[in-house]
Chain A
Amino acid sequence: MSENYKFDTLSLHAGHIPDKETGSRAVPIYQTTSYVFNSTEEAASLYNMEVGGHLYTRISNPTVAALEQRLAALEGGASALACSSGMAAMHLVVSAICSSGDHIVASSKMYGANINLLQHTMPRFGVNTDFVNPNDPEAIKRAIKPNTKLVFGEVIGNPGLDIMDVPEISKICNSKNIPLVLDATFNTPYLMQPFKHGANIIVHSLTKWLGGHGIAIGGAIVNGGNFDWGDKDKFPTISGPHFALGGISFWEEFGPSALIAKIRAEGMYNFGPSLSPTNAFHLMQGIETLPLRMKKHIQNTHSILDFLVNHEMVEWVKHPDLETHPDHEVAKRILPKGSGSIVAFGIKGGREAGKAFIESVQLASHLANVGDAKTLLIHPGSTTHSHLSSEAMKEGGLTDDMIRLSVGLEDINDITKDFERGFRAVKKLNK
Chain B
Amino acid sequence: MIINFKGAKTYIGTGGKSLDVTKMTLCFLHGAGQNHLSFIQQARFFAYKGYSVVVPDMPAHGFSDGNPCKSIKENAEWINDLLVELNIKDVVVIGHSQGCLVALELNRILKSSFEALIFVAGSNEIPVNQFLLELSKENPQKASQMMVTWGHGIDGDMSINKWPGHSHYGEGNNIMCMNKPTALRYDLHSCNDYSDGIDAAKNIKVPALAVLAKNDQMTPLKSGLKFVELIKNCETHTLDCGHFLPSERPMELNSIINSFLLKLK
- Which residues of A pack against B, CB within 8 Å? 1-5, 10, 13-17, 44-45, 48-54, 60-62, 64-65, 68-70, 72-73, 76-82, 224-226, 230, 245-248, 252-257, 260, 264
Contacts and interface: CB of A to CB of B under 8 A. Distances in A.
B242 A69 contact: no
B171 interface: yes
B159 A69 contact: yes
19 contacts: A1-B154, A10-B159, A48-B48, A50-B41, A51-B44, A51-B254, A52-B250, A68-B164, A68-B165, A69-B165, A73-B169, A78-B167, A79-B170, A225-B171, A226-B177, A248-B16, A253-B13, A255-B171, A256-B37
A260 B171 CA distance: 12
Given A5-B157, A50-B41, A252 B13 contact: yes
A60 B166 CA distance: 12
A54 B164 contact: yes
Q: Is the interface of A mostly helix, strand, loop or mixed?
A: loop
B157 A260 contact: no
Interface in B153-169: 153-154, 156-167, 169
Interface residues of B, number: 45
B242 A1 contact: yes
B73 interface: no
A57 B157 CA distance: 26
A4 B175 CA distance: 18
B238 interface: no
B17 interface: yes
Interface string B160-197: 11111111011101110110000000000000000000
B165 A60 contact: yes
Interface string B14-38: 0011000000000000000001010
Contacts of A247: 16
Given A10-B159, A73-B159, A246-B16, A52 B170 contact: no
A207 B28 CA distance: 44
A60 B171 CA distance: 19
A52 B166 contact: yes
Contact of A17 (B37, B44, B154, B250): B154
Contact of A257 (B63, B171, B178): B171
A165 B187 CA distance: 38
A245 B164 CA distance: 18
B156 A2 contact: yes
B159 A14 contact: yes
